[in-house]
Structure 1
């Protein structure tokens, strides 16, 4: 499905309900598989969460999680602990290009039986579940937080818990803290001090534990961008959100004040309002704790004809696509000048925006959604737009609700 977005103006006042966070959902789904007394409300309707649920329920010996990166990392750890189960964990062609060696080697340190069925260091994986005896692992601190969270989620089931030492400067700390907070809510004792995380063994109790997943802050980012590019006085109310969020991307509320967007927290809602024009000509951000919002921010800055300098983006190269290269390519088609390194992006102030450009999405949901707000500036085409189902299946219909004009082509 390709979509043409016609130059549009948002309704002055709108309301949107956003599905649960896929980050929280997938963590809780794994904990539910380990501890059956857990119930979960407001689970994400994203492809990632759906694929995670399907894999956990399936009795097949081959588990295909397609393009769900979180599921690949979490399920690798989960099945390594399932004594007596033998499975092959595979995914899409892109998933088979995404490295997993760091996590596999960490699990092998604990005693896991995991082998590669094709290329060393990459899925598919052949996993023979067993009782893991180890309780100490050291990892580089700048690796994907999903590797770290995968280990932390299975840690309470290990005979002696887990002591995880992170070597170097830690990135994506909010995602680690999210995992630990969910473990704490379950009743698991944890400690995160300096570069050492400890998780105690936890024997489940018969007492039921109910969790409600907060809505996804990454999904909210596109509405922040839309408001930033809209007229002063425009407001969108989003649910369900809370001020003391576990999600690292909740930093959007602070970041987007730079673009003139104010966030008002209500009871289970946030209201985003364009209150002024941006005052800084160059936006400078370190996104090491929230790299998933880099694409949205870059496009927002471009649409407002601002400069933008972002660092801490080293994990973007191993996502659904190399997001730094993809961003540079698509922004430059629109008339931008962009400089990138392995971990940084610098967007130069643009004099104008080219119209009727077709944006390639590279099988990456965030590429489609990050560029969509430019419809408030120019008409734009989004190729293979249904890729948004990975995290936000209702994205295009929600955009229409708030005034964005689009047609399928």
Structure 2
């Protein structure tokens, strides 16, 4: 599906409800599979979470998780401890190009039986579950925090728990902290000291109801919309909390540079544009703890004609697409001047945005949503717009509620 976003000058001040965080939901779904005493509320309605839930309840020998990267990593660890169960875990063509070797190596070192069915280091993988795994493992910390979280989530189910020694520079630390907090929330003893994570064994937990906070990554697109809008534009989003477990909550601080003020009220946030708070460019940010908001920030800077230099982006190359390369291609279509390295993006300021450009999404939900706020500056098309369902199925209808005119081809 291709959609056209018509340039919009005036937004409707609206209140939008965003469903639970995909990151929190998928962690809790796995923990619920291990500990059925847990009840989860405000579960994400994203494709990834639906796939995760279906996979955890499936009794099939072959499980296809399509494009769901988090599900691939978490389920690899989960099925590795399902005693006497054999599962072939596979995914889309792009998923079979995304590396999983570091996690598989770590699981194999503690006794898991996992073999590659095509290319070494990539899905599909055949997993034969084994409960009696070792209690200590070393893993490279510099590639993806999801590998580490996958090990943390199964640690308490092992006979002696699990001690994880992290080697190298840590990536996306807030996501590791999120996993740690959720483990503690259900009563599991877990610690993260220096570069060592320790998870104590626990067979049964006390029944508990956990409410998933709404997704801050999804909120990022509304921060961008407000940043690109006129003064006094405001949007209210729910349900959010000030003491969030999500690393992307740093948005509230980052977007003050673009004149967006965040007010927390009960379980909602109100975003308001106030140009008097704009920070003098260039914008320089290290996003190693929150790489998922890099696309949104880069597009915001382009829309405002602001120079930016974003670093800490080395994990973007192994996402749904090579996000750095995709950003460069699509921004340059619109008239931007962009330089990228393996871990950074530099955008030069420009005061002209080309009209009517068709943005390719590369089967990446964040490409579609990150570019959508440019409707405040120009008309544009989004190809394969349905890809937003991966994390935010209601995105286009929520934009319409803001007064952004959208038509389908």
Shorter-chain TM-score category? over 0.9
> What TM-score comes out, normalization by structure 2 length?
0.99
Q: Secondary structure at 1:50's aligned position in 2?
A: helix
Deviations 1:237-268 (CA, angstroms, capped at 9, x unpaired): 00000000000000000000000000000100
Structure 2 Cα separation of the partners of residues 354 and 97 of structure 1: 33
Offset at residue 59 of structure 1 (A) = 1.2
Structure 1 Cα separation of the partners of residues 128 and 199 of structure 2: 24
Structure 1 Cα separation of the partners of residues 157 and 110 of structure 2: 12
Structure 2 Cα separation of the partners of residues 202 and 26 of structure 1: 20
Q: Secondary structure at 1:271's aligned position in 2?
A: strand
Instruction: Specify every segment of 5 or more residues in structure 1 that has no aligned partner in the other structure, as ranges.
Output: none
Alpha carbons 2:16, 2:237 under 8 Å: kept: yes
Structure 2 Cα separation of the partners of residues 22 and 133 of structure 1: 29
* Counterpart in the other structure of 2:334: 334
Alpha carbons 2:175, 2:246 under 8 Å: kept: yes
* Counterpart in the other structure of 1:304: 304
* Counterpart in the other structure of 1:273: 272
* Counterpart in the other structure of 1:32: 32
Matches within 5 A, 1:15-94: 15-94=15-94
Matches within 5 A, 1:83-162: 83-162=83-162
Structure 2 Cα separation of the partners of residues 81 and 330 of structure 1: 42
Q: Which piece of structure 1 moves more, 52-61 or 388-397?
A: 52-61
1:223 aligns with 2:233: no
Alpha carbons 2:306, 2:349 under 8 Å: kept: yes
* Counterpart in the other structure of 1:200: 200
Q: Which piece of structure 1 moves more, 269-278 or 249-258?
A: 269-278
Structure 2 Cα separation of the partners of residues 301 and 272 of structure 1: 18
* Counterpart in the other structure of 1:286: 286
Structure 1 Cα separation of the partners of residues 87 and 128 of structure 2: 7
Instruction: Specify every segment of 5 or more residues in structure 2 that has no aligned partner in the other structure, as ranges.
Output: none
Alpha carbons 2:142, 2:171 under 8 Å: kept: yes
Q: How many residues align?
A: 408
Alpha carbons 1:334, 1:353 under 8 Å: kept: yes
Q: Secondary structure at 2:114's aligned position in 1?
A: strand
Provide the aligned C-alpha RMSD in A. Answer: 0.8
* Counterpart in the other structure of 2:212: 213
Q: Secondary structure at 1:157's aligned position in 2?
A: coil
Matches within 5 A, 1:222-261: 222-261=221-260
Deviations 1:95-126 (CA, angstroms, capped at 9, x unpaired): 00000000000000110000001111000010
Structure 2 Cα separation of the partners of residues 133 and 376 of structure 1: 54
Alpha carbons 1:26, 1:52 under 8 Å: kept: yes
Structure 1 Cα separation of the partners of residues 48 and 133 of structure 2: 30
Offset at residue 159 of structure 1 (A) = 1.0
Structure 2 Cα separation of the partners of residues 91 and 133 of structure 1: 26
Offset at residue 203 of structure 1 (A) = 2.0
Structure 1 Cα separation of the partners of residues 209 and 48 of structure 2: 22
Alpha carbons 2:12, 2:401 under 8 Å: kept: no
Structure 2 Cα separation of the partners of residues 202 and 315 of structure 1: 33
- Please identify runs of 4+ aligned residues in structure 1 that moved more than 4 A: none
Offset at residue 10 of structure 1 (A) = 4.1
Q: Secondary structure at 2:89's aligned position in 1?
A: strand
Alpha carbons 1:10, 1:402 under 8 Å: kept: no
- TM-aligned CA distance change 1:155 to 1:334, over 3 Å: same
Q: Secondary structure at 2:275's aligned position in 1?
A: coil
* Counterpart in the other structure of 2:349: 349
Q: Which piece of structure 1 moves more, 72-81 or 156-165?
A: 156-165
> What TM-score comes out, normalization by structure 1 length?
0.99
Offset at residue 58 of structure 1 (A) = 1.3
